Each structure stands twice: as structure tokens, then as C-alpha cells.
Structure 1
Amino acid sequence: MPLEKQGIYALVVNARHVKQVPGRKTDLADAQWLAILARSGLLRGSFVPPRDLRTLRLISRQMQKLTGILSGEKNRMHKVLTDGGIRLAVVVSDIHGKSAREMVKGLLRGETPNRCCNMPAND
């Protein structure tokens, strides 16, 4: 059962805003100090976004991560082709477009570079 239904409301508090207890540091002393501050109304809770917003942020971060990975792989493929003497940028305007991908697939199938350059893109 959630704590709120039991009448317990938890606060997420920035540790920098809570003055430290003088003397020896223990979890018990910290808990007692936080309880005193909470009873006195001196703790200000940090913003905790609603579940929907947290999910949206998670999806957004994952999308950014995957986009970065994809860009790195595209750059790696371009470097491998260039190091192998295959300069796709001379033949196509977008080296990651559909035509370029079809040309690379043709090369991987063992077709000659001249044949691959004359391939129409399949729709």
C-alpha cells in the first residue's frame, strides 16, 4: 500500500539545503535532524514530476541515446567505405539515403561498384 494512503507523505529534499548535524555523522543522527527540520516546517521538497512526465523524459533520453548511436554507426560505415576506396559522396548527395543504402547492399552481395552505381532505388 502506498505511503500516502497510510498518511505518510515523503519529501525529496536537496541535501545541500539541509544543514549538517554538528559532531559525529551517523544515519540515526541524520534521521533525527531531518525529523526535527520536518516537524518545524523547515524542509522544502524538491519538484518530483508526475509519472507521465517522468515516462516522457525517459523516452526522450532513450531516443537521444539511440540517435547518437545511429549517427556513430553511420559515420563508421562511411569511414570503412572511404578507407576501402569507395567514395559514395561522389555518386549520391545523401550518403545515408535510400539509394546509397541500396548501393552498399549491392556491394555486400558481391556486385561490382559500377553495377551498384547504376542501380535504381527500390520503392
Structure 2
Amino acid sequence: MTDLEQRKLYSVLCHGSQLICYSLVSVAVPIVLLLISDDPIVQGNAKEAINFYLTVLIWGVIFLVLCFVLIGIPLLIGLVIVSTIMPIIAMVNAATNLERPYRYPCIWHFIQ
């Protein structure tokens, strides 16, 4: 496997792991790839996937609390839709643009 193929595979795995499930397993894949890879593009994609997961997790907790006043239910539905569509967009972008990591719009960057 060439370096570009490996970069593409690892970058797509970083973002695609978000679609596996909404548990810690989906954030474990980018963390492992961040630690084992020395490619700066793969590391950038892994950091961005971790930041996306943490942002969705925080918004999910906030919207879950807001379910008690009924405003959280449509917000949670929207969050599920966004958290499904955005990793797909990121996977396509990571597979086609191998020169720089994909940046999710409107997320908090905990890991730089």
C-alpha cells in the first residue's frame, strides 16, 4: 500500500468511525490513528474527527437537558441528522483532497 493510499484510508477511517455508533468506540479510532500515524494529514483529520465527536457530545447533552422543556426534541433530531451527514461529507472530502485535512464547520476545537 502506498503512502497516499494509506493516507486516504486512515483519513476516511477517522471520519467514518463517527458513523459506527454513538459511543466511545467511534472516538477511539481517531485517537488510535492520531497516536500511531506520523502523517500530518492523517493526524489533522484525526484531531478534527475527535473535535467533531466532542462537539456533538456536548450539544447532545445540552439538548437532552432541554428535552424537559420540549425544545430539545427537535434540536436532538437535527443533531442526529447533522451528525450523520457531516461525517459522510468529511469522508468524501478526505478521500478526494489528500493535501490537507478536512475542517468541519462550526465546531469547537479542543485539540489543535
Question: When the two structures are superposed, what TM-score results if normalisation uses the length of structure 1?
Answer: 0.28
Larger radius of gyration: 1
More RCO (CA 8 Å, sep 6+): 2
Structure with greater proportional helix content? 2
Question: When the two structures are superposed, what TM-score results if normalisation uses the length of structure 2?
Answer: 0.30
